[in-house]
Amino acid sequence: MPELPDIVVYLEALEQRVLHRKLDRVRLSSPFLLRTVTPPIQELEGKTVRSLRRIGKRIAIGFDQEYWLVLHLMIAGRLHWRDLGSVASGIRVKKLASRRDLAAFGFDSGSLTLSEAGSKKRASIHVVAGAERLEDFDPGGLEVLEARLEEFATRLTCANHTLKRALTDPHLMSGIGNAYSDEILHAARLSPATLTSRLNGEEIARLYEATRATLRDWTERLRDEARGEFPERVTAFRVGMAVHGRYGQPCPRCGAKVQRIRYADNETNYCARCQTGGKLLADRSLSRLLKQDWPRTLEELEAMRVN
């Protein structure tokens, strides 16, 4: 799922291409993508984009007369841009180019397409009238890059959750998901399974700084990668990440193999040596299967592999 750094870079690219530009035509491939009925999405046609906002992991595009288009890309949704001069776009958008394309927005400057890989279509579009309606899409998570340490500490410890859950809960922290939470916790040298109630002041401060540094660093990296072009390679698995998506590969800090916990469609990646004192966190499926034979340390795990 695109997270804060990805959404920020998307918004910067959109600002260059659609701000103060007129939307000529909207085309949808499925009525299930659009989650609102009133106002109809056709009301946006002929209107000009006046503002762009990030709401957590959502993109909000504001038009004339306080109409707003709210995009939620979910896990597999991605945006694509084609300049007016390179393809038939604008009002000449007659059909979607691919089965993965869910929607196309033809501007007088080019064509913005929303696509989604896989069979589970979770991406969504809402159209609302009035900026006050945007509050309906804001889960209220803390904007860590704008918050002081005291605010971060209060929000982090307002309920007793694991650090992984606390960072990825949109009601607690804004814009952080599975990928960057792994990177943040590795940078802070904290276990994803540590309960927020057990953190001391030094650990909270370390997590605060790691969160801000990780989000800023990856935003800059993605800007550099795009180099002014529209970001087409948005992914949760990036070269240069320390642990996320790097199961079995060496930790860049200590060289130990990166471990993982699998649950549902997600997984948590971590370095046992750097983050958990060498202890392996129990994987729900494997630890239930192995029971007493589940290895507790990296040394026990390596011994199992040798045998």
Nearest to 31 by CA among 127, 103, 133: 103
What domains lie within the chain, and their CATH numbers?
4-137 (3.20.190.10), 144-306 (1.10.8.50)
CA neighbor of 141 nearest in space, from 90, 197, 211, 82 = 211
Q: pLDDT per residue over 168-194, tens digit each?
A: 999 999 999 999 999 999 999 999 999
Q: Quick one: which of 15, 37, 8 has its CA closest to 125?
A: 37
Predicted confidence (pLDDT) per residue in 13-36, tens digit: 999 999 999 999 999 988 889 999
Contact 79, 113 (CB under 8 A): yes
pLDDT along the chain (307 residues), means of 10: 95 97 94 93 97 98 98 94 67 60 94 88 95 97 98 97 96 97 98 96 98 98 94 89 96 96 84 96 57 50 43
The rounded distance, in Å, linking the Cα atoms of 268 and 90 is 42
Specify the pTM: 0.89
Give CA–CA dist 69/85, Å, rounded. Answer: 25
